[in-house]
Structure 1
Amino acid sequence: MNNDRQKILTDYISYLYTTGRTYDTVGKYIKYVTDFLERTEDVNRRGYLVYKRENADVMVRHSLMCSAICDLLSYLNIGYGKREKAVKPLEKLDVISDKNKKQLNDFIIWLTDNNDYSSHTVYIYYTSMKKYFEYANEVNMDNCRRFIKSLEEEKLSPATIRLRITAIERFSKWLKKPIELKRPKIKRKLDVNNVPTEEEYNRLLEYLKAKNNKDYYFFIKVLGTTGARLSEFQQFTWEDIISGEVVLKGKGNKYRRFFFQKTIQQEAKVYAKEYGKTGIFAVGRFGPITQRGFSQHLKAWGKHCGIDPRKMHAHAFRHFFAKMFLKKNKDVIQLADLLGHGSVDTTRIYLQKSYDEQKKDFNRNVTW
């Protein structure tokens, strides 16, 4: 690649990171655009058409290739104005074929035998592909697009359609005929009014610290200072907290590092030694805590402390951690890493302010 094209690529990559696309999508765009710039004779519409003909067999499986190159040309103001074809929805079939029933069964067996997916994820993949085979007999790009159109006409939410697409892509990889599909955009929104305030968080800690069994005091403090999801929190051990950090597998089978506050390390070390605490951290009276059991405790503690019950769920403390971190440090990129987000766009929702914060800022600043 010559210097001019290298500069085009560098500038385009910088632009990509401002678009709010996920890291995964950005990575694919960079890959496809780099290949185009290295192989095409002309960086224009004609060059794109020639490149498209030469790589038709690959592009038919990877719809993002066309999108990435067209996005580059659009960025360079020499865009290839692609007309969107009208997509017809699929009509529902009478029955699922025996062949597809067997494929679906084999796929589920493969998922459970060879992957570390949760039972919930496997169930979503199963129901998604079952739904797909109610409309189509073959997994190909045209059928997939028409299936998505059918879901849109059924008024399914963008989040549900994205789950269906993820299942189809996973299934197509299992078939060794990978397909990439465009996902509908979701406007991420956080109800910041349902996040505990710093004063409420401290009030809750004081209440739990005064109890004979201080385990729950540590639970809340760890949740509020790590931003861990409940599924990740359930993997922590007392030894992890005392050591100050741990690397665990979290959402999406991704590994990430958790750090623990020095004060928590010191408090946990003394407490664990005094009461013989070892092994799994999040254990209640009847064994490892469950989401339902922990939620019931939180509601009861919140009622005792005068905290709105809508703020009393485990994930609220992940939001609390994010809000507190941004209050001390405006580095959204670092927060995205700490929270294990795949896209900074997800993390930006924590920059929103609550109703009380907005009103206070308004009254302080609008004085003219």
Structure 2
Amino acid sequence: MVEKFKTHLQEENMAKNTISAYAYAVADYYSRYKELNKKNLLLYKAYLIEDFKPKTVNLRIQALNKYLIFMGRTRLRLKSVKVQQKNFLENVISNEDYIFLKKKLKKEDNQEWYFVVRFLAATGARVSELIQIKVEHVNVGYFDLYSKGGKTRRLFIPKTLRTEAQQWLADIKRETGYVFLNRFGERITTRGISQQLKNYAEKYGLNPKVVYPHSFRHRYAKNFLEKFNDISLLADLMGHESIETTRIYLRRSSTEQQEIVDKIITW
């Protein structure tokens, strides 16, 4: 049934990573319980709560609920657990460190990684989306992404980045195909990007905890709201289903909070 479930999710145009996560959750459930009933589902939920963080628990529950709908057993659906949202953003690269990093990469003529950092911070792309960007997308200025439920999100490539990237691509004579390649000329992997960013953080004396792909997506959101305070538009650009997800970017990072506290509280 797990394979049939995967096929069903593919037919719904769900993202590959989501399909893998959902299939894993269902397979994990069946590795522990033979029957699909309320008692076993609640036992599985209890196990998840004890061993995993709320975000992971809810992902597994979401997967199982999707499977229950697929099986026509909607009455067995589980309730998600409450996730207490932090009142600050954690491990977000500062704008100063972002500028420092891209300047260092450009100064050393490390164009490929300069543009990896630029594209992440200037488009708000997830790393899984970044590696799908092609030369053709750069030329038209956007990349249409098809997510779960057949929804479309347009990833815009801003004019300044587009112009700069087109010049670079022309210089290296890359006229078609994926923009970011590994040393073998194949599309780079998400893991490859994450590891290399850590390497550059260490090389340039930056905090490795804030130099990772999703950190630049956070930077994109923070910078966008500082320049153009429209949280509804930002939610659309980032592909958030709920505006509540986007509200976290109205808050300051833990580092920013510390700096403000240190500066103003002198009593």
Q: TM-score range by the shorter chain?
A: 0.7 to 0.9
CA distance in 1, matches of 2:133, 2:102: 20
- Mapping of residues 103-114 of structure 1, within 5 Å: 103-104=1-2, 106-108=4-6
Assess if the C-alpha contact under 8 Å between 1:136 and 1:143 holds in 2.
no
The change in CA–CA distance for 1:109 and 1:310 in structure 2 (over 3 A counts) is: same
Tell me which of 254, 258, 283 is aligned to 2:181.
283
Give the counterpart letter for 1:118 in structure 2.
Answer: K
User: Which of residues 132, 146, 152 in structure 1 aligns to 2:42?
Assistant: 146
1:256 is paired with a residue whose SS is strand
Aligned to 2:95, which of 198, 210, 213? Answer: 198
Give the superposition deviation at 1:193: 4.9
Q: 1:112 to 1:242 in 2, by over 3 A?
A: closer
How has the CA–CA distance of structure 1 residues 216 and 112 changed in structure 2, closer, same or farther, with 3 Å as cutoff?
A: same
Q: What amino acid is aligned across from residue 245 of structure 2 in structure 1?
A: T
TM-aligned CA deviation for residue 109 of structure 1: 6.0
CA–CA separation in structure 1 for the residues paired with 2:161 and 2:117: 11
Distance 2:15 2:84 in 1: 27
The question of whether the paired residues in 2 share the 8 Å contact of 1:232 and 1:249 is answered with no
Deviation at 1:155, TM superposition (A): 5.4
Where in structure 2 are the equivalents of 1:123-142 lying within 5 Å?
Answer: 124-131=22-29, 134-135=32-33, 137-139=35-37, 142=38
TM-score of the aligned structures, taking structure 1 as reference length: 0.62
- Which of 202, 205, 208 aligns to 1:306? It is 205
Deviation at residue 189 of structure 1 after TM alignment: 3.6
Name the count of aligned residue pairs.
Answer: 264
In 2, distance between residues paired with 1:320 and 1:188?
A: 19
TM-score by length of 2: 0.82
Q: What is residue 132 of structure 2 aligned with on the other side?
A: 235
| C-alpha contact 2:194 2:212 (8 A) present in aligned 1 | yes
- How far apart are the structure 2 equivalents of 1:114 and 1:249? 11
Taking the aligned partners of 2:64 and 2:106, their CA distance within structure 1 comes to 49
CA distance in 2, matches of 1:360, 1:312: 20
Q: How big is the shift at 1:230?
A: 0.5
Match of 2:71 among 163, 167, 175: 175
The structure that has the greater radius of gyration is 1
Q: Which moved more, 1:186-195 or 1:358-367?
A: 358-367
| Residue of structure 2 in register with 1:160 after alignment | 56
Distance 1:200 1:241, change over 3 A: same
Specify whether residues 112 and 149 from structure 1 end up closer, same or farther in structure 2 by C-alpha distance, changes over 3 A only.
closer
Write the distance in 2 (CA, Å) between the matches of 1:356 and 1:201: 15
Q: For 2:196 and 2:31, how far apart are their aligned partners in 1?
A: 43
Q: Give the 3 Å change call, closer, same or farther, for CA 201–157 of structure 1 in structure 2.
A: closer
Rounded to whole Å, the distance in 1 between the matches of 2:2 and 2:49 is: 25
SS at match of 2:144: strand
- CA distance in 2 between counterparts of 1:153 and 1:257 reads 36
Contact 2:14 2:148 in 1 (8 A): no
Following the alignment from structure 2 to structure 1, what is the Cα–Cα distance between the partners of residues 24 and 33? 15
Q: Quickly say closer, same or farther: Cα 1:175–1:361, change in 2 above 3 A.
A: same
Q: Distance in 2 between matches of 1:153 and 1:363?
A: 37
Deviation for aligned residue 1:298: 1.0
* Distance in 1, Cα, partners of 2:81 & 2:201: 37
Q: Could you list the per-position Cα deviations for residues 162-203 of structure 1 after superposition, in whole angstroms to 9, with x for gaps in the alignment?
A: 223222222222223434442112123486352221121111
The answer for the alignment partner of 2:161 in structure 1 is 264
Unpaired runs of at least 5, structure 1: 1-102
Deviation at residue 361 of structure 1 after TM alignment: 3.8
Aligned-partner Cα distance in 2 for 1:158–1:291: 24
Residue 209 (str. 1) matches residue 106 (str. 2): yes
* Residues 244 and 262 in structure 1, CA contact (< 8 A), matched pair in contact too: yes
**Amino acid paired to 1:282:** F
Gaps of 5+ in 2: none
Q: 1:255 aligns with which of 149, 152, 167?
A: 152
Moved more, 206-215 or 338-347: 206-215
